[in-house]
Structure 1
Amino acid sequence: MISCRASGKLFIAGEYAVVEPAHLAVLTAVDRYATATVTAADPGEDVILYSDLDGGITLSCERHGDELSPTSDAVVPAAFSYVFAAVSVVHRLLLERAIPLSAFRLSVTADLGDADGRKFGLGSSAAVTVATVAALGQYFALGLDPMDRYRLAMLATIAVNPRASGGDVAVSTWGGWLAYRSPDRAQVAASLARDGVEATLRSPWPGLSVRPLPTPTELTVQVGWTGNPASTPALVAGLDGDRTTFLAHSNDCVERLVAAIEADNSQAMRVEIDSARALLVDLDAMSGLGIMTPRLHALCDAGAAVGAAAKPSGAGGGDCGIALIERTRPAAIAELTGRWISAGIRPLPLRTHPVEGGHR
């Protein structure tokens, strides 16, 4: 039996810009997880997938030549799309490496949402994908390093959502705080279709950069959940028009934020978080996407009232917001928490999940 887990994520800054290749974002991994467990299947079985998502679902799969597909022409449930895509990509790699595919059972569990199944917006799709790739990589002794795992998980991700930036995939792979630039997913997908999985793993990915950052020592990230799950793909799909100015200003802001994090300059970090929020507010006004909901406005206002820097985390439209505030101000943190609760915002007790493995 092999079990691997992958962390959830929070966007600190750069969401919406990072959707474009080579544009910059900062993310951090958090201590909520998806876990994938692989065991040998029973005689007569082929590939059995189980997930506790959506109340628990099971999918039987079988091989047809080079393809893996659900048995009896079953449809892959939406909640299983990323897991199935990850299994399919690893299956192709096994075939290309001439490694026999022994039958197995894969079980995926996650604690990235509420007890009633609503997601917190912590990157559950990325986490289950990364955990699945890692567990299968160990089970079949593929010798995958972190970049291999990221790339395989990213190939699975863009098979489901071609516009996904992959920032959540990266931070679920490496942990810690990351500065991340997204690859050109269209070129990556074309390479996969033309050359296969192995060659795409080894080829350049234009635009991609993954760089570790130190965890700030003076500031803590407080997280509030609005209670309203949001669909990142739907919000990103609504982007249109010329965003050249937004992209340039976002990159400048996040570059300054990265420099502030590396210098552990808490005041400069708060300034750039406020700037990142202002950029999202302007983008929302221009696009009409609904990034800033009333509760996200309330979350940010509460942060400002206690001297914290606050903004939505991720695509907005619900989900989570963050506030960066000094660790040495427990009274202000308690006041922030009280203001959030009064506004119908649920504080989430999250901590940074540390770096795992090497970066390149």
Structure 2
Amino acid sequence: MTKINVPGKLFLAGEYAITHPGNTAIIATTTTGLTIEIHDAQKNVSVAKSNTITKYWQFQMGATEDQYTDDWRYVRAAIKLLDDYVLSHKISSQLSNVTINILSHLNSPSGKIGLGSSAAVVVGIIEAFNVHFQLHLSILTRFKLASLAHLHVQKNGSLGDIAAITYGGIIAYQSPDFSLLPHIEYQWLNQEIVDMPWPSLSITPLKWPANWQILLGATHESADTKVAISHTQLSPQFLSESQQIVKALVNTIINVNYQELTIKLRDNQTLLTNQLPSGYLTPKLALLLAKLGDIAGKISGAGFGDNGFAILDRRSDVLINIWKSYGIDAQIINISPQKGG
């Protein structure tokens, strides 16, 4: 039996700009995520189960259906791509049938907490299969496989959440430019792309200051990132300013400069607020920002709901209580460990 824990993710800076190749975001991973268990199958059939999906999925390894529209679409895509990659590279004989159990911790009694469940699922499946079948895939290969599976289903995205969840800890992530790849007639499930260099891609682990804590503020108002991005036109000036701010924020983390962190997060928030439609700043998110005072923090991700966060250099039960009084679920999150390999 194989059991792995898969982190969730939280964007700290560089949202929206990261959807344009060559731009950078800072992303944290949280110990709140998924648990995935894999057992060798007792019968000649594979079965996948989840605490968030009512119906289980039954399939034959090596013969998964070409169907990516149901609740199991992310798991289907990840297994199909990994199986093709393993066979084409002669890493192993055909993967044997298994029983998969996925336990999500990304919901609370009040609803989703917006830490990236679909990304965690594809990364988790790749990671769990890599361990269970002793495939010894490099961390970059695992990132690419999970990325292509996610792209095949979702059709867009920066892949920053995939990178963060694969590498753990906190990363500075620069998005790849697929338009610079040699022309290939492919769907995203074509595993040839895995072995190619991805232009502009950069994933840099950051050492997080020991005395800085991240306080998540969850509004439990679900946001559709795909829709939000599709209705937003980003100017060259916005992209340039975002890149400058994020690079400065990387230095504040390296130099442990909390005062500058506060200023630059506020700059990033102002840039986003001025660029995006009024619906980006929901009433709850506006309250979350208004109550920060001189504490570093901002909205995380797409806005239009979901999360904000604060970074504390000292314990602040006052802010926790204030957020909770306005219906914002406040909790200190633990950063997941960085991974190697």
Match of 1:68 among 64, 75, 85: 64
SS of corresponding position for 2:19: coil
Is it true that 1:353 corresponds to 2:336 in the alignment? yes
Aligned counterparts of 1:24 and 1:76: Cα–Cα separation in 2: 31
Structure 2: segments with no counterpart, 5+ residues: none
Q: 1:192 touches 1:200 (CA, 8 Å); kept in 2?
A: no
Q: Structure 1 192/178 Cα, relative in aligned 2: closer, same or farther at 3 Å?
A: farther
Q: 1:300 touches 1:323 (CA, 8 Å); kept in 2?
A: no
Mapping for residues 207-226 of structure 1, pairs under 5 Å:
207-226=200-219
Counterpart of 1:150 in structure 2 is: 143
Q: Structure 1 4/257 Cα, relative in aligned 2: closer, same or farther at 3 Å?
A: same
Report the CA distance between 1:218 and its aligned residue.
4.0
Q: 1:25 touches 1:180 (CA, 8 Å); kept in 2?
A: yes
Report the CA distance between 1:357 and its aligned residue.
1.2
Aligned counterparts of 1:207 and 1:125: Cα–Cα separation in 2: 24
Report the CA distance between 1:199 and its aligned residue.
3.6
Is it true that 1:97 corresponds to 2:89 in the alignment? yes
Mapping for residues 1-360 of structure 1, pairs under 5 Å:
1-45=1-45, 47-54=46-53, 56-62=54-60, 68-69=64-65, 76-78=69-71, 80-98=72-90, 99-115=93-109, 118-185=111-178, 193=186, 199-240=192-233, 242-284=234-276, 288=277, 290-304=279-293, 307-327=294-314, 330=315, 333-358=316-341
Q: Which segments of structure 1 move beyond 3 Å, counting only runs of 4 or more? A: 185-192, 194-199
Report the CA distance between 1:32 and its aligned residue.
0.4
Aligned counterparts of 1:338 and 1:263: Cα–Cα separation in 2: 30
Q: Which amino acid aligns with 2:328?
A: I
Q: Structure 1 264/189 Cα, relative in aligned 2: closer, same or farther at 3 Å?
A: farther
- Give the alignment's TM-score, normalised by structure 2: 0.92
Report the CA distance between 1:349 and its aligned residue.
2.9
Q: Which amino acid aligns with 2:321?
A: G
Q: 2:213 touches 2:332 (CA, 8 Å); kept in 1?
A: no
Report the CA distance between 1:51 and its aligned residue.
1.7
Q: Structure 1 37/188 Cα, relative in aligned 2: closer, same or farther at 3 Å?
A: farther
- Give the alignment's TM-score, normalised by structure 1: 0.87
Q: Which amino acid aligns with 2:32?
A: R
Report the CA distance between 1:270 and its aligned residue.
1.0
Map Cα deviations across residues 229-282 of structure 1 (whole Å, 9 max, x no partner). 212122122223x52111111001001001111111111111111111101101
Aligned counterparts of 1:104 and 1:152: Cα–Cα separation in 2: 20
Aligned counterparts of 2:211 and 2:165: Cα–Cα separation in 1: 24
Structure 1: segments with no counterpart, 5+ residues: none
Percentage of pairs with the same residue: 30
Q: 2:300 touches 2:307 (CA, 8 Å); kept in 1?
A: yes
Q: 1:177 touches 1:215 (CA, 8 Å); kept in 2?
A: yes
SS of corresponding position for 2:292: helix
Pairwise CA RMSD: 2.3
